Amino acid sequence: MGISITSLGDRIAHEHEGYVGAYLRDGSLTGSSSREIDAAKTGKLTAACACDWRSDRTWDNDANTAGGWPSDALEDEILTDWYDHVYAVADGERDRHIGHLTMMMARIGRQYGRGSLDLDNLDDLERDLASALDRVKQIRRPSDF
């Protein structure tokens, strides 16, 4: 129903699917459409996400009826708020992964300084570092390419 950004990693793409939500007369939000649902729409729209996040801004639907589909231009404008949300999530996740990688490297440095780093058996270390680095690399904004 909505959009997701696969370059931000599978978890974020799966949990954060954005859509244009339409407010119903009972105050709830929907991304669905049917004759009954469309008749209950107020004409107020907002950006929403599968994780339950929603923008605090609203837009007036520019369709002929309150329940009609908004124009592509309006949809793009509304989804800008969702992009800000999902990029903030991705930035936080990447910061967390970089923090983990940094702590691993600091621990390796301390072990080396104490002479306790097993330089003859670096396979586990190589695997752990590659895995941590891979998690950082999985989160890429389209502008990172």
Task: List residues binding Zn ion (CB under 5 A).
Answer: 16, 49, 51, 53
Q: How far is CA 134 from CA 4, 98, 105, 120, 129, in A?
A: 21, 10, 15, 24, 8
Output 55 or 61, the one with its CB closest to Zn ion: 55
Reading the block at residue 108, the tokens are 């390796």
Output 5 or 66, the one with its CB closest to Zn ion: 5
Reading the block at residue 141, the tokens are 């904004």
Compute the least distance from the CB of residue 49 to Zn ion, in Å: 3
- Compute the CA torsion angle 105, 107, 112, 115 (nearest 10 deg): -170
Contact in structure between 16 and 51 (CB atoms under 8 Å)? yes
Output 60 or 84, the one with its CB closest to Zn ion: 84
The three-state secondary structure class of 58 is coil
Compute the least distance from the CB of residue 50 to Zn ion, in Å: 6
- In whole angstroms, give the CA distance from residue 15 to residue 10: 9
Output 16 or 41, the one with its CB closest to Zn ion: 16
Compute the least distance from the CB of residue 16 to Zn ion, in Å: 4
Compute the least distance from the CB of residue 124 to Zn ion, in Å: 35
